[in-house]
Each structure stands twice: as structure tokens, then as C-alpha cells.
Structure 1
Amino acid sequence: MFVLKQPVRVLSFFLFYLTVCHSERLKSTSKTLFVKELSIVSNVSIRYANVLVRSLVENLETEDDEISFQVRIPKEAFITSFSIITSEKTINAVIKEKDVAAEEYNSAKEEGVNAGTVTQQTNVADDIGRDIFNVKVNVAAQTTLEFRLEYEELLKKNAGKYSQKLFVDSDHVIPRLEVFCEYREKQNFKQFSYQNPLDGRKIILRNEEMSDDGSFIRKVQWNPSVSQQDSTQFGFTKPFEIEYELEPPKDGGIVYYNGNGEFVHFFSPTSCEEEDVMSKQIVFVIDISGSMQNDPVKQVRQTMAQILSRLRLKDYFNIVIFNDYATSWSTRFRQATAANIEDAKQFVSSKVIAKGSTNINDALLKAISLFSQTLESSEDFHIGQMVVFLTDGSPTVGVTNREDIRQNVRDINFYDGVMCCKSIIHAIAFGKGADRNFLRTLAHENEGTLTIVRDIDEESESFIDLYHGIESPFYKNIEFTFTADEKIIPEANITRPQFKLLDCNADIVVAGRTYPNAEIHSVIIASENNDRVVFDNITTVRTRDIDEKKLARLFIYERVKQLLEEADISTDSKSKKLANDKALELSLEHKFVTPLTSLVVTEYSPEKLTNIPGPTKSNSKTKNNQGASSFGTGAIYDAYDYGVDDLTSQPDYVDIDNSLQLVGGNSASFMTFNYGIKIISFLTIQILYKLFVYFF
């Protein structure tokens, strides 16, 4: 693996993503590369965000300048297009299967082309809720380039709200900076607020518009002046954050469909009244191995005290702590009375002490076995059952093989060992040492979620945020059935028809496809607090124009996500291959960059990437400087390439899982956007005479 002998300038692109992050401010001394403009446009309709980033960059020097910068996108996003625009030409990337892209890369290398890479960083703290990629490029002298990146993402509901967070991540003034966001929904906005990164004040937006098709519209525009940007001592340290709530739909949610046969059903409870919330059984499983010593274990004790205080009287709970061995607070579930909560707090205070190794297998089995002790089968339908599992490491004692641990969990948590699942497992990966891949697969396999906590300062907030999203189970054993013109739509045409549990502050999204111009009807059967409930009079909305295209993209987005998850959790090689093959087919057909595909530019020539004549022979130099640049996010409706990619087959000095690649001919350069999990070194590069960069 190639490693740079000296540090390079690091630039950080503007970030648009759904989870909070905190990036270290990096300074810059360079004044030769100048970001003239940055625009971020986000268009959201039926919860689906289209994102466009546009930046204009100028190199003021009389010689080429080699720099390195960072690209950041949300982990759940798919890149849709990548282009470089000069006064003479627009260069667009195309999607190819990863092995084909790798072959082109190797061919380019054999022809003597210098290679460049955009590689994912996994060894940095600032990587929560997004993918970070390192890029090295050569920027031609005295040139101006426009760089555009587009991606799409479905916004998810958490704690009753939809949210977007936009980070400029810059300590440099940008002469022309603009953020524009538009939200279109068929449900009225119950609450809408935003905070800009300069003063942090929450502004309630009450002005709304109505479209001709009856959609409610909210718009946000932000154009900070140079003086306003200059007034901040440390740059854009806070996010541009938008949060909104929608008026609850009628019972059963809303089904949107278009003329092509695609549809999506958004389902969430209409209220969150205390008396309607289910009781729950919850087990907190806490790693107390030696790596948790000092601040981490202290923070766990403080956070657990807060969470225990939030339990309802009708809840039942237990606590399992583990290092070499697993120990439980009680041999059975205990009701959340004031006395029991106080006793549990004392247990946490006195017993949560970091020492020893990490026996994940025994801890999980002890926790799951508790669910078979107390309830009759009829009661099981009306109580939420879940495990919250926190660890900062990997299994080191007992059963250490990850596949064996998964099988052991399935044996006792799955019905008859094959159908998920008696309890949902939510995992929290704390710190860099946690085996995130294993925990993600474990959580998804048991219908839970993975929350990543990067450092001690954010542990309490992340743990509590997770609990807020699961503390109020409302429906259980939810089943969706769809018909098109009174004919049942096969489950193979639906992303997912069954769900174990739904919190009252969350939602479920089910997408599907049938024949064109069909009338869609949906029926939901679920268990609630005291009974079974059926929703069969669900509102349907026919989408038009822009929303019709969005709905088609949303279906493919959800379908590919589902297939990739199926492949990830599959224990059968044939099923895994089947899911991956179908995901690859859809990715290629609909131009998605996924872990199975790469985005490749095969048309490139340095002479065509200059709008002001520069040296015919590259005279590049590397700046030893670090910083965060300006790069943005935004949205347009007509972008139909996708991304989050993967490339495992690379030259012997590259170690890559996922990549977006730019390949050129003899006078060209090659760039790889790597979305993998492994840590990759930078590669030398002479590429793209100008790419969207910003010095610090």
C-alpha cells in the first residue's frame, strides 16, 4: 500500500447529512487557490431529498498546484452524478460494474497514467453519519473550474421530526455563499424551524406557500455576507440545521403512487398519547471491559441514571454488564417502580467498573434468555421487547467468531431459529475499537439499528437520542398488504411487508412497484396496546410531474438498500449472491453508485480542462497544509446517477472496498471515490486541472 512521505493539504467539502457531527477546525495559509462561489440547494418532496453542490474555484498561481481535500456525504446517500465544467467542455462520469472499472483503472496505469484516489477514512473521529473521502488532485495554473456533485437520500423520522443538517466546515470567507432549501409535502407543516451556523438561533418559520397541486411548501434561503462570515472567530463550527414536523395523517398513513406503477406508503401513529403507548421489556447490556476505563465508564454511569429515570411505571427492565463474564442486575425483569429504579442506579454506580476482556456472546445470550421467562404468548403481542447493547470493542474471550455469535443469537432469538425475532437488538458502537461491521449486521439481522458514538463527549447525547427513538413502542407485528385494481401485489414487488415494532415517534416506509396506472390500495394489520387493529381506509395520493419522478427514484433507492441489507445479513452464500446480483442489476440499470458499482470518467484530457492557457507541461508542487474547504450540497430533480460505491479489486498498493472512479487516457488522470471500510493511503496524481477545492 502506497503511503505519502509528507503531509498534504487537507480540504473539507461542505457537508449535507442527517446526523450531528463535530469537525475539528483546520487552518490554512494558502491564498493561491480561491473559492469564488459555493451554492447549496436542497429540494425535498415526499421526504426524498435531491442534493446539488456547485462550486467555482480559481487557481491564481502561474504553475500547477497539487493539493488534497476531503469529500463528505451522508452514509445513507447515493451519489447521482459527478461532473467538471470548463469554458469548453463538461466531463460527466458514467457508472460501471466495479470489476470493469477496476480493469480500466489497471489499463490506465499500464499506459503510464498517474493514479489518484478518493478514499474513505475510518481512523478519524469525525466520521459519524457520513462517509469521508480523501482526494488528491493537480489544479492547473490560472484556471477556473466548476465542480458539481449530486446525490439523493430519503429523510427518516426520528423523535417525531424530520431533520437535515448542513455543514460548511470552513474557517475561510467565501465571497458568494448561498444555501437554499425547499420542502414540499401533502401534509401541512406542524412545526418548521432552522438554525444558521453563525449565530445558532432557532428561527421558527411560519410563512408557507401552496402549489397548484395542493402541496404545502416551506422555503429557506441564507446568503451570509463576507462581514457576517468574518465575524465568527472559529468559522462555521455549527451546522445549518432544519427540523420540521408534519401534521399526523389519518389512521394508516398515506400512500403515494404514480402513473408508472411505483408507490410508497408512509405509516406512523397519529398520536403519542401516554395511555396508548405499549408497555415494554428492555434489557440494557453494557460493556465494562478494560478499554472502557476512565471517562467512558463514568459517562455510561451518568447516562444510565438519566435513562432509568425515563422508564414508565408500566415498563419492565433489567441490566446486564459484561467483561470476561456476564452478570445481570436481577434474574428476571423488574417493574420500573421508584424503588427498583433506585436499586438499579445503585447497581450501575457500584458495579459498572472497567476491567477485563470482552465476552459479547455470553452477554447477548443472557440478555435474550430473559424474554422467555415471564410472559404468556398472548401477552407477547402487546408489549415491546428490546435489547440495547453497548460496546467499545470486539469479542476477545468466550465465543469470538462473529458468525458463531450471530448463529447463537438466532438460535434463541428467532422463532424456530429461522424467523425474526423475539426481541429487537439495538447496538451502540462506542469509539474506534468497536467492530462496527459486526454490530451493524447483528442489529439489522434482529430488526434493530446501529448507533455510532465517536467519542466520550457525544456518548451521553447519542445514547439518550437512541433511547428517545425506542422508548415508546406503539404498534407490533405490523403487516402490509397491497392490491392493484383489487389484485394482490406479490411480496417480491414490495421492499418489505412485515415489521416487528414501531415507536410512536417514528415511521415505516414501504415502497413497491406494479403495472402502470393501477389504483393502489393498502391494508395494515398490527397489534396495539390492548388489541389487534386493522387499517383499510388509507389515504392515497396520485403524484404528478416532479413528484412522479421522485417517487420512481425513491422506489429504486429503497429497493437497492433492501437488497444490500439482505446480502449483508444472509448466512447462505446462494441467497447472498442472489441479493447482490439483483442489487447490481438495479444499480446499473438506474445509474446508482452502490457497493457493487463504480462511477467512471473515461473521457479526459488536460488540454481540455483549462479555460486560461497554462503550462503545457505540469510543474506541480505539493503544499504542506491542512484545512477545511468549502464544498456544499444541494438538490435538483433531474439527476439520475447514484452513489455509494465499492471497489475491492485494485492495484497491489491500493486497498479499497468501494469507489467512484475517474479514468483518463495517456494524458489523463484517474480518480477513485472509495467508500470502503478499510483505511487507504493517498496515491500520487496528476488529474483534472481544476477541482473544487479550498485551502485552510
Structure 2
Amino acid sequence: MYPKRIPKHLIFDPQPRRKSRAWLWWLVILIVTIAATLLSLVARADESAMVQAGQFRLTSASGQAIHAVHLATEVSAIINGLVVTTEYVQHFRNASDIWAEGTYVFPLPMTAAIQQMEMQIGERRISGEIKERKAAQVLYNQAKSAGQRAALTMQQRDNLFTQKVANIAPHQSIKVTLTFIDRVSYQDGLFEWRLPTTLTPRYIPGVSLLPQEVPHSNDPTLTTNQSGWAMATDQVPDAELITPPMTDSNLSDGPQNPLQLSVTLQAGMELAAIKGLYHELAVQQTPQHYELSFARKQEEMNRDVVIQWQPVAANVPRAALFQQTQDNETYAMLMMIPPTAQVKQPLAKDILFVIDISGSMQGKSIIQAKASLAEAIEQLAPDDRFNIIAFNDEFNLFNDRVVAANSDIKPVAQHWVASLQADGGTEMYPAMQAAYDQLRATERLQQIVFITDGAIGNEAALFDLITATGHDARLFTVGIGSAPNAFFMRKAAQLGRGSFELIGSTNEVQQRITRLLAKLNHVVATNIQIGWPLTAEAYPAKPADLFYNEALVSFAKLPQPIEQLPVQGDKADKHWQTTINGASTTAATAIGSLWARHKIIELEDQGRTGSLDKDTVRNLVLGVALEHRLLTRYTAFIAIDSSPARPIKSPLRSQSIANVMPAGSAQQAVMFAQTASTATLSFWLGLLGCSLLGVLSLHKGKAGASAGS
């Protein structure tokens, strides 16, 4: 028998229920979720339509992808003794039917003095003028708006630059040539010239900034078609300027960003060997010099080009002093190898190995890094103490303190290293701070070995940490991979009063680590004094300590040439001194430009250490750069074809040109320079919508259960 129901008209409810509006909330959330999902799909489809490296990505009004190809790069270098003069030629061709502007972010040697830029359109050549950066960008924007062809070259980091080309006509080619001066390095009996060709995508830490929070957001001259895949953050406000799109080199049969190389090597001595570390070279010898090129004519721009040459044993140089007179000024360059001191019994040391296991190290880089660390542990002396810190988003310690490097602990440490996997972000700062915190025993040598590819955007924060009060441990860096951030590796080691090694292949691990540990145990010369005249302006102002088989290099500006230069210092076993005879050089403006570049480097370093404030650094650097026509972060090269080319009514499409991912990298190529923020935002909106739907469903279920009870 069922209970009788009370008719509704007989029920009295003092608080009558309102008609539910839950359906409206459900509808709103459903619409938001669908819209976010569609936006995300559109953004991802847009990403997949991104063209391959070396191409503009243009979009027509109908949404179709239009390609404009970055054809190739040609490098011609003349190596005369210790000086390298390079012409770096970039060819751009717009293969579309729409007027195009392109932006290309690319690396160059960190010590290069870029002194000339030229834009060529057909047979017309327009020489670039050196201007203050803001003024150059104003001129570029005005020319672009007026339909004039223009090229703008800027520096973002000491080794990272931006090339912009505006108003490339449909199916037209434009060539931009940069000329720069650099010097070769000398170490362990080998001369070496290194040319970077691509970069490893940099980790961008920090909290994202709103457009109005970016320091340069209110200055229209500094926001010229920024197209990086990363948004500005409080730690890296210029993130979008240093994060170009990247693509995989395996997407086509031939090179996507092809590079041609021609090198004339005038070593000035008989050579025993010439080799390319990572590329096969064709070598032709003439009575006066060597001609070098790629054996395969052109190569993909996916790893550093490194050429080494070795003099015969009888010709190994110990010292060289070159001078050049220009505009009633004499510029001098000194290179010398101090006498090698007898290696005494090395002092016991505490050493912290810091190894990068972030996502940028995936592939061959982590293999090289782990092999390097395992070899370094194997070569530690029994009296040494060590610890290991591995980091990505977080850091992990092998032990809570430094431990003795005995035969029992070494295999345990090597097994721990072998188990490391590369993934996640690159939070260097906490790991480095932890390393300094562990090294407090002043009675022993305190050393840090930092193994990484240097793929970060907040280098300045790390430099501040290295030079902080109380951080007295010497820092040695090991750059890993096909395209390490050499600027960070070298500068970190310099500020940390150590040295650095670059390892681009597993075949180099044992030799480079053995050389590194020789440096750890053996400071060859300290208290170095170069007897430049009192009227000379020399850089570096105070020579650093020298490690095993390293060369001393110094530049000076003098009122007149000198015939002899005294040099002295302290070795491990005794004081030493020598006198070097002067010489001349035929390099017309090379040494003067190199002196100016090294003066700028020293001024920037004084700004990093707080010896000079930012405004003073800017004003001093600007003065040197404008006088010597050098590209810096405060100056830029601008070239403008005065005759308008693009009809004002014709649209101009802008896009970035991708770099090729470094060889051996297992990272996924970053292909969404223009859609990253939209795709990411859409993803999170979609996720939020789904979450709200879930919460409402759960709430409704609980309410129903409560009502049912």
C-alpha cells in the first residue's frame, strides 16, 4: 500500500522556491569552454602551419599561409695570425605575392667587433650608419611606414643579435652583409676559431608581465614586431626578443638554413694539422696560405663551426705583440704563454659539481654532461672532497655535505649520475646558491664546476649571484652541446675567477675534462703585471690569473708605438719576468676595433659588479661605440633605401625566421612564435571551463543526494 500524496494546492510553503537559473550558468560555461577549445584548436592549427626554418610565415586575409624564404648564409673569413676578419652575408628572398618584413635572431661570437653593415638590392648597395639604438629604430619604423626598403641590426646579448628587413617586394631578394673583427683563441698548443650558427631555446623564468608592465612597452621605438615565443617576465623583460621560433633539421632532405663557408688561413708559421671539429673540411694549400671550405659545399646551421690548427712543435709561439697606428693613435695586442711552472702536489680541495638536467639538455647533451661528470669524479684525488647538485625546476643533492672522494664513494656517485634524466625547466639560481652555501671551509681550495648548455634568459641574475659578497669559490664552467650559450659560459667563469671548457661531442669528454682538472689543480701565474706605459689605456685593466696552458691576452691604446714590453708575474715555484719585442701588423683597423670592443666589455663588467651605475655605463659605452662604429646594446646599424618601393595601400606582412634546433637535441621545436600566448590562454580557459563544469556537476550531485535523503 502506497502513502497518499498531498495535493500541491493544499501545501503551504512560507518561502516559496524561485525558478532555478542553473541552466543559465551551465550555458555560459559551456559557451566559454567551446570557444576556448576552438581557439586552442585554431592556434594549434596555426602552429602546424608554421613554415620551416629560414622562412617567413605570412598570413593572407583568407588565412592561408604565405611563405617568404630566408635563402642562405655565406661566411667569408680571413685569419691573419691572431686576427679574424669576417663577412657574414644573409640572403633574404620573399617568395610570396605580398610585401614582407622579416626578423631573424641569430648568434655571433661574443667578442666580435661588428663594425659595418650593408644592404644590397639588386645592384644598389646602401651602407649602414651607426646610430644610437632608439634613434635607429625610429628611422626604421618611419622607413617601413613610408614603404622604403630598410635594414636594422641590433644586439640583444653579447652573442645574440637581431636582423630586421622591411618592405621586401614580392619575389625579390635582399642581401645584408655584416663585417666583424674577432681574434682566435690559443690553448694547449692549438689555435681555434669558433663561429656559432644557432642557439638552444632559452628557459625564461619569472612571472609574466602585462604589456604595460614591460619596461619598454611605452616606447614605440622598442616594440618593433616582437615575435618571440616567450612573453616578458619580471626576470627577463626582453624575453620576446631572445626567443625566436625553432624548427627541426630533419624536416627536409637538405639543409633548411644552409651555410656556405670560405676561410683564408694565413697562420704565419708552418702547421702540423688543420681540422674541423664538427664539420668535414676541404683544405687547399698555396705558398702563402690555406683555403678552407666545407667538404659538402654547404651545411645545416645546427651547430657551432669550430676550426683548429696546430703549429709544428718547433714553431709553437710563446709571445706576440702586434701594433697598428691609426689617426695618430697606436693600438697594441699582446698574446703570450707564461712559462709552465712545475706542478707541485695539488692542495686538497672541496669541489661542488653542478649539473644541468633540464629539458634543453635532452638528447646527446645529457649524455655528454653525464659522461663529463663521471670522468671528473673518476679523476678526483683521495684527499679531495666533493658533492653533486643536479637541477631542473628543482635541485637534488647527492649528499647533504661534501664527502671524501675515496674508492668506496666514487662508484656510488657515478651510479647516481648515471640515473639522472633530463626534463623540466632551468632554475639555475637556487642550485648555484646551494653550491656556494656548501663551500665555507676556507682552509681548503673551494671550487665549483658547472656543467650546462647555458640555455637561460636571465644571465644577469646569475652574474650577480656569482659576484655576491662571500662567494669566494672559484667557478669553472663546462659548456655542453652543439650550440651552447658561450657568452654565459665564458662570462660566468671570468666573474668567478675560473676557466671554461666547451664540449660538443662525446669524443672530446676525456681530453677536455682532463684539461679542466689540470686547471683546477694548477694556477700557472698570478699577480700578472704588464708594463704598458703610464699613458696607455689597457684592457683588461687588471689581468686575471692564468691556468694551465692558457694564453694571456691584453689590448692597449698608446700615444706612440713601443719597442719592448716587460711582463712579470708569480708562478707556483718562483717569480718570473720577460720582455717582448714589438711588431707591426697589416690589419688596417682590426686592433683598434678589438681594443674598443674589449673596452666596452670591461665597462659592461663594471656595471655588473656595481663599480659603475647603469647610466654611466650606457654613456661611456655609447661614446666608444659611436666613435669606433661598433654595434652594442645601445647602438644599432640602420640602412635605408631613400626611394619608396611599396605602395602605401599595399599591405605589409611581418614574421620571424626560425633557427634550426641544435644537432643532437631531443627538445621539441618551438614553432608558435605568433600564437603562443593565444594557444596557452585558450588551453587554460578551456581547462578552467571544464573544471567549473566538474564542480557544478559535483555540487548538483551532492544537492540531489541531500534532497533525496
TM-score > 0.5 by shorter chain: yes
Are residues 1:601 and 2:634 paired?
no
Who is 1:503 aligned against?
Answer: 548
Who is 1:47 aligned against?
Answer: 82
Alpha-carbon deviation of 1:104? 3.9
Instruction: Spell out the pairing of 1:573-584 with structure 2 (5 A cutoff).
Output: 574-584=612-622
Of 512, 516, 520, the residue aligned with 2:560 is 516
Q: Deviations over 1:254-280 (max 9, x none)?
A: 22223442212212356799x579667
Of 150, 160, 163, the residue aligned with 2:193 is 163
Q: Which has the higher relative contact order, 1 or 2, with Cα contacts under 8 A spaced 6 or more apart? A: 1
TM-score (norm 1): 0.61
TM-score (norm 2): 0.60
Are residues 1:472 and 2:501 paired?
no
Which deviates more, 508-517 or 152-161? 152-161
CA distance in 2, matches of 1:221, 1:599: 29
Are residues 1:264 and 2:325 paired?
no
Letter in 1 for 2:134: D
Of 434, 445, 448, the residue aligned with 1:363 is 434
CA distance in 2, matches of 1:235, 1:621: 30
Who is 1:308 aligned against?
Answer: 377
Q: Deviations over 1:477-496 (max 9, x none)?
A: 53343335xx5556x53423
Who is 1:243 aligned against?
Answer: 308
Of 560, 581, 584, the residue aligned with 1:540 is 581
Residues 352 and 435 in structure 2, CA contact (< 8 A), matched pair in contact too: no
Alpha-carbon deviation of 1:426? 2.9
Per the alignment, in what secondary structure is the counterpart of residue 556 of structure 1? helix
Are residues 1:588 and 2:626 paired?
yes
Q: Deviations over 1:65-118 (max 9, x none)?
A: 536463533141343222122456321111112233344456668879899987
Is the alpha carbon distance of 1:132 and 1:83 closer, same or farther for their aligned partners in structure 2, counting shifts above 3 Å? closer
Who is 2:609 aligned against?
Answer: 570
Q: Deviations over 1:189-246 (max 9, x none)?
A: 342224795xx4x66x594634xxxxxx333256867xxx7xxxx9677776522124
Alpha-carbon deviation of 1:304? 2.3
CA distance in 1, matches of 2:278, 2:388: 42
Residues 264 and 512 in structure 1, CA contact (< 8 A), matched pair in contact too: yes
Q: Deviations over 1:137-188 (max 9, x none)?
A: 44324655544222222233456531335869896689x9963211223454
Letter in 1 for 2:574: R
Letter in 2 for 1:472: A
Instruction: Spell out the pairing of 1:94-109 with structure 2 (5 A cutoff).
Output: 94-104=129-139
Who is 1:182 aligned against?
Answer: 264
Is the alpha carbon distance of 1:605 and 1:402 closer, same or farther for their aligned partners in structure 2, counting shifts above 3 Å? closer
CA distance in 1, matches of 2:455, 2:278: 39
Are residues 1:66 and 2:100 paired?
yes
Per the alignment, in what secondary structure is the counterpart of residue 440 of structure 2? helix
Residues 59 and 144 in structure 1, CA contact (< 8 A), matched pair in contact too: yes
Residues 475 and 501 in structure 1, CA contact (< 8 A), matched pair in contact too: yes
Who is 1:561 aligned against?
Answer: 601
Alpha-carbon deviation of 1:282? 5.5
Is the alpha carbon distance of 1:680 and 1:315 closer, same or farther for their aligned partners in structure 2, counting shifts above 3 Å? farther
CA distance in 1, matches of 2:450, 2:178: 37
Who is 2:351 aligned against?
Answer: 283
Residues 64 and 618 in structure 1, CA contact (< 8 A), matched pair in contact too: no
Who is 1:483 aligned against?
Answer: 531
Residues 354 and 431 in structure 2, CA contact (< 8 A), matched pair in contact too: no
Residues 133 and 154 in structure 2, CA contact (< 8 A), matched pair in contact too: no
Are residues 1:426 and 2:467 paired?
no
Q: How many residues align?
A: 542
CA distance in 2, matches of 1:624, 1:513: 43
Instruction: Spell out the pairing of 1:284-683 with structure 2 (5 A cutoff).
Output: 284-286=352-354, 302-311=371-380, 313=381, 316-321=384-389, 329=399, 334=404, 338=407, 341-342=410-411, 344-345=413-414, 348=417, 359-360=430-431, 363-370=434-441, 372=442, 374-375=443-444, 386-390=447-451, 406=464, 410-413=468-471, 422-427=472-477, 443-448=493-498, 467=513, 470-473=516-519, 474-483=522-531, 487-488=533-534, 492-504=537-549, 506-528=550-572, 531-537=573-579, 539-546=580-587, 549-567=589-607, 569-572=608-611, 574-607=612-645
Q: Deviations over 1:545-595 (max 9, x none)?
A: 22x53222222222222222222x2225x4554344322211110000111
Residues 406 and 442 in structure 1, CA contact (< 8 A), matched pair in contact too: no
CA distance in 1, matches of 2:196, 2:459: 40
Structure 2: tracts of 5 or more residues without a match: 1-42, 56-64, 199-248, 661-671, 676-709
Letter in 2 for 1:154: R
Q: CA RMSD in A?
A: 5.6
Sequence identity (%): 12
Are residues 1:218 and 2:257 paired?
no
Who is 1:209 aligned against?
Answer: 287
Letter in 1 for 2:548: D
Structure 1: tracts of 5 or more residues without a match: 14-28, 123-128, 211-216, 414-421, 608-614, 630-678, 683-696
Higher Cα Rg, which structure? 2
Who is 1:646 aligned against?
Answer: none
CA distance in 2, matches of 1:365, 1:625: 40
Residues 270 and 311 in structure 2, CA contact (< 8 A), matched pair in contact too: yes
Is the alpha carbon distance of 1:11 and 1:70 closer, same or farther for their aligned partners in structure 2, counting shifts above 3 Å? farther
CA distance in 1, matches of 2:531, 2:339: 23
Who is 1:676 aligned against?
Answer: none
Alpha-carbon deviation of 1:308? 1.8
Residues 154 and 637 in structure 2, CA contact (< 8 A), matched pair in contact too: no
Which structure carries more helix by proportion? 2
Letter in 2 for 1:318: F
Alpha-carbon deviation of 1:46? 3.3
Alpha-carbon deviation of 1:394? 12
CA distance in 1, matches of 2:369, 2:435: 18
Residues 84 and 90 in structure 1, CA contact (< 8 A), matched pair in contact too: yes
Alpha-carbon deviation of 1:42? 0.6
Q: Deviations over 1:623-669 (max 9, x none)?
A: 9998779xxxxxxxxxxxxxxxxxxxxxxxxxxxxxxxxxxxxxxxx
